[in-house]
Amino acid sequence: MNYKVIYDGNCNLCVTLVQLLETLDQGKNFEYISMQDLDQLKRFEITADDCEMGMILIDQNHPEKRWQGSDAAEEIGRILPVGEVFVAAYRALPGMKWMGDRVYEQVRDNRYTLFGKRSTTYKSVYAVGCRAIDNSDNQDLKSGS
């Protein structure tokens, strides 16, 4: 994992997008922390108030390097295979960045009204600190050795 994605685990839209990203990435580049996991957020010196401005992306190799809101969404897109081409085209179109930022802000501020709120917080299968064990590397555990 090279990046940590901090998302709203109570937002239906946010969770759907995280699930899509999980499917596309399969845990190769991203691990996830819900904004509701205050203990994990503390590890990265992020407060609940910080999360009010939208999703956050942290470069694990350079934790001071962070993106938030629509910038985080763009950076995630850029990291995905062939995503850089689409993000570059989006950024090259006059006014698109400005418009994208405004749309992101409106969705962020009205996400529960527009898409609903989950009754339970979603925790990713690729959550920080919760990597699935690769059974091929643990044959001794299976055989009882």
Q: What is the Cα–Cα distance from 58 to 4, expressed in whole angstroms? A: 5
* pTM of the complete model: 0.84
3-state class of 135 per DSSP?
helix
Determine the angle formed by the axes of helices 83-92 and 70-79, rounding to 10 degrees: 140
Average pLDDT, the chain: 89
- Going by C-alpha positions, the residue among 5, 9, 59 that lies closest to residue 31 is 5
Provide the token pair at 5: 């994605």
* Span 6-46, pLDDT tens digits: 999 999 999 999 999 999 999 999 999 999 999 999 999 99
What confidence score (pLDDT) does residue 131 get? 54
CB 69 within 8 A of CB 105: yes
Parallel, antiparallel, or unpaired: how do β-strands 66-68 and 56-59 relate?
antiparallel
For 26, 43, 54, 83, the CA distances from 129, given in Å and listed in that order, are 15, 12, 22, 27
